[in-house]
A and B are shown apart, each in its own frame.
Chain A
Amino acid sequence: MEKLLQIKDLIVEFKTPGGLVQAVNGISYSVSGGDIVAIVGESGSGKSVSALTILGLVQTPPGRIVGGEILFDGTDLLSLDDQAIRDMRGQDIAMVFQEPMSALNPVLSIRRQLTEGMKLHLGLDKKQANARAVELLSMVGISDPVERLNQYPHQLSGGMRQRVMIAMALSCKPKLIIADEPTTALDVTIQAQVLSLMQDLCKKMNVALVLITHNLGIVARYAEWVNVMYAGRIVESGSARNLYANPSHPYTVGLLNSVPRLDQERGKPLEPIPGNPPDLSALGDGCAFAPRCRFATEKCHIEIPVLAVVDDEHRSACWEIEALQRENAA
C-alpha cells in the first residue's frame, strides 16, 4: 500500500550550552492513510522533536536537520521552501498540542481561532466558515456551539479547550494529524474521552493520526502501530498487537511494568526502570539503554544494536533479545 508519510533516517541536532545534542538519531517509520501510529518514549527521547520536524516547526537555530527525508504523499517536506511548507500546515497536516491551557491565544475569540485556518486554506467566506465552525464544535462534543464561538479560551475548561484544538486540527480536512501528548495535561477521565473522540473522528474522516505519548498503556487501545523511542532512536517497532503480546526490547518491557494495568493482578508492585534518562550530549558507543538494562552484556556497551525482525510486523533493536524472550516465556 502507498504510504502517506514516510520518514527515512531523520537526524536532528540541537546546539546547547552543554554541547551538540542529537535529539533525533536516524529514525525511520511510516504511516499509511487512515492509520493510527503511536510514538512512545520518555521526555527527551526525541519523540516531540521528530514530530515537529515534519511541519518544519523546529526552531533553527538552535535546531538543525542534519539528514534524512520526510516524504508526504511523495513530496520531500524537508526540501520545500517557506511558502510551500506553510501551505501544508493546517491544510494537509495539522497538529494538536499538549497544553490545552496555553495552546489557545488568550486575546482572540474561539471563532477567530477556529475559522482563520478555514478562510485561509479552504477559501471559505465568513458565513461558510462560521457554519462549519458550529458543525465542527458539535462534532467534537461541545454543547451550545454557537455561543461558544463568541467566548474566549479562559472561559472554557481544559477538556473543552482540547476539543476546540481537535476541531481546529480537523477544520481544513487534513490527511494527517500529529497529536503531541494530546491528553497529558488532562484529568484521567477526560483523557479517555478525548482519545476515543480523536480515534472516532479520524476513522470517520479517514485521517491518519500520529499519536505521541509517554504512556504505553494508553496506546494499546487506540493505535494500530507502535514505535518506541529511546535517546533519539526507535528501539522497538511493530503492530500494536504483536508488540504487546511479545514486547521484545528491555526498555519496552520496563515501560509496561512501570504503569498499572487492568489485566494484571491487583496489589502487584510496579517496577520502575532503574537509573535516569541518558544525557544526550554524552552518549557512548553502545546501546543507549545499556546502563539501565539488566540484560546488558559487553557487546551492548560497544556496538549499537540495529532493528531486527522479531516476528511478523515487529522489529526490535536489542542484542540480548533471546535472553529477554526466555524470561518472558518463563
Chain B
Amino acid sequence: MSRFLVRRIFGALIVMFAVATLVFIMLRLVPGDPIAAMLYDAGDPDAVDEIRTKLGLDRPMYVQYGKWLWNAVQGDFGRSIYGSRVEVSRLLMEALPRTLSLASLSFIIAMVIAVPAGLIAATRRNSRADYAVTFVAFLGLSMPDFWLAILLIIAFAANLHWLPAIGYVPLAKGFWPWLSHLILPALAVGTAFSAIVARMIRSSMLEVLNTEYMRVARSKGLSERTLIMTHALPNALIPVVTVIGIAFALLMSGTVVVENVFAIKGLGRLLIQGILNRDYPVVQGTILVVSAIFVFSNLLVDVLYSIIDPRIRLQS
C-alpha cells in the first residue's frame, strides 16, 4: 500500500512538471504581448523596452524558464507583472479557499441529492419515483448553471431576502456568514453535478442488481436493506468513484461562470484575468495549482478504489 502510494506520488510530480513546462511554452507562443496589454498606449518603444528589461522578459526563454521553475519548486511563483505587482502566491492564497469552499459545498450538496436519488431510481425501477428522478436529472443537466444561478438569486436573494446575492466571506469571520454566501452558488453548481452522478448510480446499480451474486445473497434470506446497502452499493460505487473524482477536479477549476455571477474571486476568475492581461506568472501559478488539484483528486480516487475493491487492494 505505501509502495503504491509512493509510486503514485512520484508519478503525480512528473505530471505536474510536464504541465508546468507546457503552460510556460504555450503562454509564450500565444499572440499578444504583456506589455502591450499593460500600457494603454504602447507607442513609446523606449518605455516598452524599459519595462521588458525590468520584468526580465528580455532574456532568452530558457533562462526565464529555468529561473521560474527553480523559484516555483521553492514555493515562489513570482509577482504579477500586471498593475500592482502583487505576489502570485498571495493571489492564490486568496482565491484558493474561495474555490475550495464552493467546490466542496457543491460536492456535498450533489452527493446528498445524488446517492439517495440514484438508489431509489434503481431499486424501484420504472416506478413513478424512478421517472421523477430521471425527469429532474435531465432538467438539472440541461439547465445552464449560470441561468440556474440567476434564478436562485432572483428567488432567494432578491425576493425572499433569505440569503445574500453576491460576495464571499471567509470562514474565519463566522460559519453562518461564510455558509450563507456559498449556499446559492453551491446549489447552482451542485445541481447539474448531482444529476450526472444520480444517473450513473442508477445505471451502475441496475447492473449490479442483475448479477448472480445478488441472487445468491437474496437466496440467503437477507433483508432488502442489507442486500442494497452492503451487497449492491459498494459494487455499484466502483465505476461511479472514477467519475466523481474527475468531476470534483472539474468543479475546482470549472466554476468560472458561476464565480462571476456571484462575484466570488476564486481560481477561475484569477485564471481568466491572468490570461486576458497576458500576466504570465499568474497564469502559470494558477494552472500549476489546478493541475495539482487534478492530480491529487485522481490519487484520492485510486486510494478510494483500493478501499472499496479488494481485487485492487490485494493486487500489489
Chain A residues contacting B37 (CB-CB under 8 Å) are none
Is B8 among interface residues, defined by CB-CB distance under 8 A?
Answer: no
Contact B223 A86 (CB under 8 A): yes
Distance A102 CA – B211 CA, assembled complex (angstroms): 8
Contact B213 A120 (CB under 8 A): no
Contact A95 B221 (CB under 8 A): no
Name the segment of B181-189, B239-247, B304-312 touching the other chain.
Answer: B304-312
Closest to A154 in B: B311
Query: Number of A-B pairs whose CB atoms are under 8 Å?
Result: 76
B289-313: CB near A (< 8 Å → 1, else 0) gives 0000000000000000000111100
CB of A133 to closest CB in B, whole Å: 14
Chain A residues contacting B223 (CB-CB under 8 Å) are 86
Name the segment of B24-32, B165-173, B230-238, B264-272 touching the other chain.
Answer: B230-238
Name the segment of A67-75, A104-112, A292-300, A318-326 touching the other chain.
Answer: A104-112
Distance A91 CA – B217 CA, assembled complex (angstroms): 13
Chain A residues contacting B314 (CB-CB under 8 Å) are 152, 154-155
Closest to B215 in A: A57
CB of B147 to closest CB in A, whole Å: 40
Chain A residues contacting B234 (CB-CB under 8 Å) are 107-108
Closest to A55 in B: B219
Is B216 among interface residues, defined by CB-CB distance under 8 A?
Answer: yes
Contact B216 A95 (CB under 8 A): yes
Contact B216 A106 (CB under 8 A): no
Q: Beyond A57-B215, A95-B216, A97-B215, is A106–B310 a contact (Cβ under 8 Å)? A: yes
Contact B311 A106 (CB under 8 A): yes
CB of B280 to closest CB in A, whole Å: 48
Interface of chain B, helix or strand or loop or mixed?
helix
Chain A residues contacting B215 (CB-CB under 8 Å) are 57, 97
A84-124: CB near B (< 8 Å → 1, else 0) gives 00111111001101110011111111000000110011000
Closest to B309 in A: A107
Distance A55 CA – B219 CA, assembled complex (angstroms): 7
A31-62: CB near B (< 8 Å → 1, else 0) gives 00000000000000000000000010100000
Contact B220 A116 (CB under 8 A): yes
Is B36 among interface residues, defined by CB-CB distance under 8 A?
Answer: no
Interface size of A by Cβ–Cβ distance < 8 Å?
30
Is A24 among interface residues, defined by CB-CB distance under 8 A?
Answer: no
Please pick, from B219, B231, B309, the residue contacting A89 in the complex, using a CB distance under 8 A: B219
Contact B221 A90 (CB under 8 A): yes
Closest to B212 in A: A102
CB of A206 to closest CB in B, whole Å: 21
Closest to B208 in A: A105
Chain B residues contacting A216 (CB-CB under 8 Å) are none
Contact B219 A94 (CB under 8 A): yes
Is B222 among interface residues, defined by CB-CB distance under 8 A?
Answer: yes
Contact B220 A90 (CB under 8 A): yes
CB of B93 to closest CB in A, whole Å: 41
Closest to B217 in A: A105
CB of B205 to closest CB in A, whole Å: 14
Residue contacts A-B, CB under 8 angstroms, 8 given? A57-B215, A90-B220, A90-B222, A91-B221, A107-B308, A108-B234, A120-B222, A121-B221
B contact residues vs A (CB 8 Å cutoff) = 211-213, 215-223, 226, 230-231, 234-235, 238, 308-311, 314
> Top 10 closest A-B pairs, CB basis?
A89-B221, A90-B221, A90-B220, A152-B310, A102-B212, A95-B219, A105-B213, A117-B220, A107-B234, A103-B216
